[in-house]
Amino acid sequence: MRDSNSIFLHYITRIIIGLCALMMVPATSWAEAREFDMSIEDTRIVLVGKRDFHTFAFNGQVPAPLIHVKEGDDVTVNVTNMTTLPHTIHWHGMLQHGSWQSDGVPHATQHAIEPGDTFTYKFKAVPSGTMWYHCHVNVNEHVTMRGMWGPLIVEPKDPLPIEKKVTKDYILMLSDWVSAWAHKPGEGGIPGDVFDYYTINAKSFPETQPIRVKKGDVIRLRIFGAGDHVHSIHTHGHISQIVFKDGFPLPNPIKGDTVLVGPGERYDVILEMDNPGIWMIHDHVDTHTTNGDKPDGGIMATIEYEEIGNDYDFYIWKDKKFVPDFYYEESLKKGFGMHNSEVFKGEFIEE
């Protein structure tokens, strides 16, 4: 069965594979060394209305700055703790090959960073995908309701075909808060707590923002379970294609209209914008759409098409002041690096 033709084909194939391998930019030219300085600050943020919280904020903002790097980059982060309580940073999803003491777990991989101290994390950005970082000290308080989390996006060397179609990229970090502890830093996040505020990127509806698109866009929603509860994110009018879990491609994308997201998980959902209108995106856990004891709040936002506009007398966001970068969509376009975002800045608290 192996005639001269098939042998020829065999060699040609090997040559092509070889050429392709060469064309896959060699590691030295793709990956880079990056170094960032980060502080942790006592701040006050407002979730919605008058509902404010004392937070421990990376670079003074909640959520924390976008860290956007390339797969294989050598990342160094110098973290200085300016608060009055100990902290660490866990780089959730990073494999930390050969760098376990940069994994950021107090009592397991390091001493917590005491107030005033600086600690340096060094790790290789592997694997690629939608990752995050958060404090690992007293997670029940610091992660749950002090805003100590932010996105770490590791750009793949070799993106999936479907990723290449994406025209707009958004980050949605979901959290749950307990008002009773709002102004008691160092306490809270315990069994029996009543979680009464629910947020996307630390804001509750109507303080969230519309996602503005036009027909033909392909949007990627990177949804993070950054808090204590399970969320069930329903997008109206479009097919939600779940493509990645925790940064890894699913064996096959899963279609649906509702995405269940557990604490710590991330799902990347890709949707084709083929249906001009105003569309809700919200948590289908009904009590997560309240602010305290009031309905119509929490984890809700809309998708707005420019073809349709927003000038409808029934539309609650008819006169909404649009704040760009609320979903990090501007930061994500800035190229690689650490990007602070004015929109997430809190008010510094002096001791």
Residues 37-96 that bind a copy of itself (CB under 8 A): 90, 92-93, 95-96
Stretch that binds a copy of itself, among 18-26, 53-61, 282-290, 329-337 (CB under 8 A): 282-290
Stretch that binds a copy of itself, among 15-23, 43-51, 163-171, 231-239 (CB under 8 A): 231-239
Query: Among the candidate windows 39-47, 67-75, 157-165, 285-293, which touches a copy of itself by CB under 8 A?
Result: 285-293
- State which residue, 32 or 246, has the beta carbon closest to a copy of itself: 246
**Does the footprint of a copy of itself cover residue 268 (CB under 8 A)?**
no
Instruction: Give the Cα separation of 326 and 345 in Å (integer).
Output: 11
Is residue 316 a contact point for a copy of itself (CB under 8 A)? yes
- Site for a copy of itself, residues 3 to 32, rule: CB under 8 A: none
Residues 160-189, mask of contacts with a copy of itself (x by CB under 8 A): -----------------------------x
* Residue number, 309 or 337, with CB nearest to a copy of itself: 309
Instruction: Tell me whether residue 11 or residue 314 sits nearer to a copy of itself (CB atom).
Output: 314
**Using CA atoms, how far apart are residues 47 and 297, in angstroms rounded to an integer?**
11
Sign of the CA dihedral running 13, 18, 23, 27: positive
Round to whole Å and give the CA distance between 263 and 190: 16
Using CB under 8 A as the binding rule, whether residue 285 contacts a copy of itself is answered as yes
